[in-house]
Amino acid sequence: MSFHITSTVIQTEKIREQVVDDTCGAYVVFEGIVRNHHNGKSVTSLRYEHHPALAQSTGDELVQKALDKFPITAAYAVHRIGECVVGECAVFIAIASSHRAEAFQACQFLIDEIKTEVPIWKFETYADGESVYTAPCPNCIKS
């Protein structure tokens, strides 16, 4: 179906309406939430930055790859950019299929691929005042 990048709050309940139809026996989602800690440090906020054209095209390719690889009826992914606060949804994956096993497999595949392939970087701010980019996706930095 599609990959989206947004700077606004992800409307998870509206996505279901776009993904599920009467042929679906399974609807599997992954919701990545901004947590309050990372590597033993207290996170107060974070910001996602991206390479707009490359992030969009890579995300589109990965959604299509999931649709080609698994017998699913729909795949939808959205990733936040900009400032996010603890507790907000940062990434949302929705998969619909006739059967649950394929939906779970496709969902796992898609979130893993997005986290390792799409050029979106996380900049975290900690309670002690330090701010750092966390490790980028391994395949996003090309020499």
Query: What is the SS3 assignment for 67-132?
Result: HHHCCCCEEEEEEECEEEECCCEEEEEEEEECCHHHHHHHHHHHHHHHHHHCCEEEEEEECCCCEE
| Residue 108 lies inside a defined structural domain of this protein | yes
pLDDT band at 22 (very low <50, low <70, confident <90, very high): very high
User: What are phi and psi for residue 22, nearest 5 degrees?
Assistant: -70, -15
| Residue 119 lies inside a defined structural domain of this protein | yes
| Residue 56 lies inside a defined structural domain of this protein | yes
% of the chain surpassing 90 pLDDT: 87
| Residue 91 lies inside a defined structural domain of this protein | yes
Q: What totals of helices (H) and strands (E) does the chain contain, helices first?
A: 3, 9
Q: Shortest CA distance to 95 belongs to which of 30, 38, 49, 36?
A: 30
CA torsion angle 10 13 18 19 (round to 10): 100
| Residue 142 lies inside a defined structural domain of this protein | no
Q: Is the pLDDT of residue 78 over 80?
A: yes
Total of domains in the chain: 1
Mean pLDDT over 94-105 rounds to: 97
Position 133: which residue type? Y
- For 100, the domain range is 2-133
The per-residue pLDDT for range 50-77, each reduced to its tens digit, is: 999 999 999 999 999 999 999 999 999 9
Q: How far, CA to CA in Å, does 135 sit from each of 20, 30, 38, 64, 124? A: 35, 21, 12, 26, 11
Which CATH number covers residue 25? 3.90.1170.40
Mean pLDDT computed over every residue of the chain = 93
| Residue 10 lies inside a defined structural domain of this protein | yes
Rounded CA-CA distance 25/129 in Å is 48
pLDDT band at 142 (very low <50, low <70, confident <90, very high): very low
Q: Is the pLDDT of residue 104 over 80?
A: yes
| Residue 31 lies inside a defined structural domain of this protein | yes
